[in-house]
Amino acid sequence: MPEIAILKKIIDQLIDQAELEASECDKLLKSNGLVPPPELPQRPEAKLEEIPPGARFSDMEIAATVTADTAVGLVACSQVMGKAIREDVAALFGKYHVAKAAIGLSLLRMNKEKGWLMPPPLQIQRPEAVHA
């Protein structure tokens, strides 16, 4: 599968997951008598041809940003789970955490397969320092 198709598929999964999370959290807020924040208006679709070549992000840059944002989402879900005093809220964010971890694993595999993730060099054994 071409790299753009894999990246697009993962981004679509993240968008679907974010929409699900927003609707479930809105439902939770409403059921507890709170008004959820207003939705932002939809942005218009952009066509690749309309973006000047110098202003485009590379697939590697997009993948790195999406990967970092997914990691931040995992941390946020963990914080809510740890601070929640309601079991249903902790369980809800546990479900989100699992979904984000699965998508994060897909991102990791893709980044490795495409050569976009460069691991640091292996630790080299150095001779022990001799103290006089």
Quote the number of domains for the chain. 1
Output DSSP code: residue 39.
P
Q: Max Cα separation, the chain?
A: 73
Domain hosting 72: range is 3-34+59-113
17 in Cβ contact with 99 (< 8 Å): yes
70 in Cβ contact with 103 (< 8 Å): yes
pLDDT of residue 128: 78
21 is a domain residue: yes
Q: For the segment 59-83, what is each residue's pLDDT rounded down to a tens digit?
A: 999 999 999 999 999 999 999 999 9
Predicted confidence band of residue 34 (pLDDT cuts 50, 70, 90)? very high
pLDDT of residue 3: 54
Query: CA 48 to CA 28: how far, in whole Å?
Result: 38
* Predicted structure pTM score: 0.81
**With 90 as the cut, is the pLDDT of residue 125 above it?**
no
3 in Cβ contact with 114 (< 8 Å): yes
Please report, for the domain that includes residue 19, its CATH number. 1.20.1260.10
Residue with tokens 């940003």: 65
25 is a domain residue: yes
